[in-house]
A and B are shown apart, each in its own frame.
Chain A
Amino acid sequence: MSATIDLTLKVWRQQDRSDAGHFETIEAKDISVDASFLEMLDLVNERLTLDGREPIAFDHDCREGICGMCGAMVNGQAHGPESKTTLCQLHMRHFSDGDTVVIEPWRSRAFPVLKDLVVDRSAFDRIIAAGGYVSVRTGQAPEAHSIPVPKNKADLAFDAAQCIGCGACVAACPNASAMLFVAAKVSHLSLLPQGQAERRRRARAMVAQMDREGFGNCSNHYECEAACPKGISVAHIARLNREHLFASVMEKVTG
């Protein structure tokens, strides 16, 4: 029998996009310290349902820290108090008996709340659709070694490619800026040979779409890097700044 704790949750409840929303206080008793944060919410939801109350809506899918679906602000921290940990991988042993836990959705104008803790992150999809891809002929997968990739570039590209698109960077940024997300995607592709053909167009198109969605500007606070469950470095933002500058200058020069 593992230890259990009692918590007081203050959870954001919002019926739909147009509802103003409010905090609801919910007692979460006898929570196993071995449970994950989402399992804790599952348990609370089961009890709410049995009481004939509306369960708390939250996003999740893989529950192993790789899909990027989960996420909420827990006591003012994106994905909760542990660094480099998604909400689904956060365990209740990091909380103490009697704690009050304030749970809020990601806040950004570009991420409207759909219900409770669920936000609409399709702004990220539209940024990807604007240029976060390489155009290739489909068909058989090519032989991996037919395109040589220098080791240092491959490593950096892998670091950037770890981005799971969860939106914690936006949620944690004082300006609700999406620069770390866009930087990770632009960086990842611009470092690889396959990404070269569309390199300039990509940087400009993705940044333009990011602006259109209403994300803030980057003021170099670096809260994003600290909040990122994958620890993606703000050095990628410097690379994006460089890529975008170069692409804009080349656009002026070559048209």
Chain B
Amino acid sequence: MTAIPMGTSIVKKQIVAVSGLALVGFILAHLAGNFNIFLGPEWLNGYAKHLEELGPVLWLMRIGLLAAAIVHITFTVLVTIENRRSRGVAYAVAGSRGGTTFAKKTMILSGLMVLSFLFLHLSDFTFADKHGSASIVAGANGGESLGLYGIVWNAFLNPLRVVVYIFAVCCLGLHLSHAIQSCTQSLGLSDEPVLQRVTFASRVIGALAALSYASIPVYVIVRHFTVGIGV
């Protein structure tokens, strides 16, 4: 009737889960890589160079990631549309007994926020000219390019961008706080005690991911106004 023929409802959710897990893997690996910024320009630029040197392997990972993202978005939009249809007439009084949460109700929104942010993020860093004028930090490194480090530094001196970034990573954290728990359930890996622990772990990981990602722009700003770039 209302079902869109793309596998059973359970299969659809399991496709969302597997593609989502691939994205979670990326999010955590990306975070670990980004931490190089705290060690200074050589580390971050070295890490970036390392990635570039992977060549075809990097492209394979990028294509895999893109595929996971496309699958995830397609299926989540699909199930969200189906789910909106299935109620029919809305309740006059909508109540909750505490099963659902803000994070659960806003999965499509937090997801779409992360997606829109992604375009800004790619143009800011991934596709930026690593040795162009944006990589030169005023009064640092004798006016020479500071590579990716310089680009990140300059980008985060713009308060509007910092606010947008922090908002985006909070959306990401919110998404993860439900997502990891939801995956274990959708893939049938949980029983009662496991579900309780995974739910807790999911929220902790979501919060830590948001805080850790947000720490990068905060670090740049604080350092700019205190000790300066120091190179």
A interface residue numbers (CB < 8 A to B): 10, 21, 23, 73, 75-77, 83, 102, 104, 107-110, 113, 172, 174-177, 179, 204, 207-208, 210-227, 233-235, 237-245, 248
Contact = CB atoms under 8 A, between A and B. Distances in A.
B113 interface: no
A176 B87 contact: yes
Nearest to A12: B92
Interface of B: 1-3, 8-14, 79, 82-83, 85-100, 104-105, 107, 178, 181-182, 184-192, 195
B9 A211 contact: yes
Contact of A227 (B89, B97, B104, B191): B97
B13 A217 contact: yes
A83 B95 CA distance: 13
A51 B103 CA distance: 49
B8 A233 contact: no
A73 B91 contact: yes
A235 to B, nearest CB: 5
B3 A172 contact: no
Contacts of A176: 83, 86-88
Nearest to A170: B86
B100 A221 contact: yes
Nearest to B1: A214
14 contacts: A73-B93, A107-B91, A110-B1, A175-B86, A177-B83, A207-B10, A208-B8, A214-B1, A216-B9, A220-B182, A240-B10, A241-B10, A242-B188, A244-B8
A82 B72 CA distance: 38
A109 B2 contact: yes
B185 A234 contact: yes
A104 B181 CA distance: 32
Given A175-B87, A235-B191, 9 more contacts: A23-B92, A76-B91, A104-B93, A175-B86, A216-B9, A216-B82, A216-B86, A221-B99, A241-B14
A238 B90 contact: no
B4 to A, nearest CB: 10
Nearest 10 pairs between A and B by C-beta?
Answer: A76-B95, A242-B188, A216-B86, A226-B97, A223-B99, A241-B188, A222-B99, A76-B93, A175-B83, A214-B1
